[in-house]
Amino acid sequence: MTINEKVFGKDAAGREIFLHTVSNGIMEISVMNYGATLVSVRTLDRNGDTGEITLGLDSLNDYMGDHPFLGSSVGRFANRIARGSFTLDGKTHTLAKNNGPNHLHGGMVGYNKVTWKHEEAETNDSLGLRYTYLSPDGEEGYPGNLAVSILFRLTKTNELIIEYEAETDKPTPVNLTNHAYWNLKGPGKSDIYDHFLTLYADSYLPVDDNLIPTGKIAPVAGTPLDFRMEKAIGRDISAAGGYDHCFVIRGRDSDLKTAAKVFEPDTGRTMTVQATQPGIQFYSGNFLNGLAGRNSGVYKKHGGFCLETEAFPDAVNQPSFPSAILMP
């Protein structure tokens, strides 16, 4: 396995941003320390041709501008927190509101917009990068100094493993995930309608008009959200109004369990997602609107999908949901 480093540019403070590409000869990933971002994943198709399978941008300036979290590591709390506030140990904390009345993906300057420290990480069967960031007490309204570590590893058996660790000095909400957009046929080439998706979930979290969970857990049976058996993403997407839902993964929360599987018949590519989190957000790129992507590609509505493994959205305000509070 090999790793290649190059300078991708400089952030607003003049610090160098490094792009690292890790390859095992069949598959390669590129990650950078701005936003601990997964910039690229390239792998073979059934004909032995290598191709890109994630949506991305050409330059660091593009990533530093506005974009829909392409490949971003998001936190301190991924997904939405209702009304941008929560009460913990009798104290109400007010967060940045950056999604209408709500807080989304860490706020105005979430983890996707900071520069992380980095070091190479190697094991007997993998090679990758570890990114670390100290999120200070009060950042975006969150309590506690939070030391965060995100490890990206590519294995010899074509696994991309992302491991998250965090340590705090005060009780605080933590929900870390990666926001990669996937298109197994190739980004900018087609929509995702003919990708076949299986979700290992019998239930989901209904939401209100602001995409905040109602607190209920509902069965997927008899709804357009039923992916328990393999189904083309496009089959019921109109009936669903597009997908942007958190599904409850089968199995115990702390166990590594299969959450999703995607098959693209033209290329023969298959992706399996495993996670230890209780939920997985399936998002069908509803708000992609002609974004200019890498290599002159254009990312249109439903041109990519996300499978974000996560704690339940708004868990800090929903006592019936599994706790997303990290204790010192």
Residue 308 falls in the annotated catalytic set: yes
- The closest of 279, 267, 268 to 307, measured between CA atoms, is 279
- The closest of 213, 214, 173, 175 to 91, measured between CA atoms, is 173
Dihedral (Cα; 312, 277, 257, 122), 10-degree rounding: 150
User: How many other CB atoms are there within 10 angstroms of residue 22's CB atom?
Assistant: 23
- Per-position DSSP letters for 135-177, written without gaps between them: E-TTGGG--S-EEEEEEEEEETTS-EEEEEEEEESS-EE-B-E
Residue written as tokens 């991924």? Answer: 78
Task: Give the burial string for 266-304 (b: 16+ CB within 10 Å, else e).
Answer: ebebebebbbbbbbbbbbbbeebeebebbeebebbebbb
CB of 180 closer than 8 Å to CB of 244: no
Catalytic position from the list 28, 140, 308, 310: 308
Q: What is the DSSP letter of 99?
A: B
For strands 257-264 and 218-219, give the pairing.
Answer: unpaired
Catalytic position from the list 105, 118, 179, 195: 179
Residue 76: cis peptide before it, omega within 30 degrees of 0:
yes
Catalytic positions, please? Answer: 179, 308
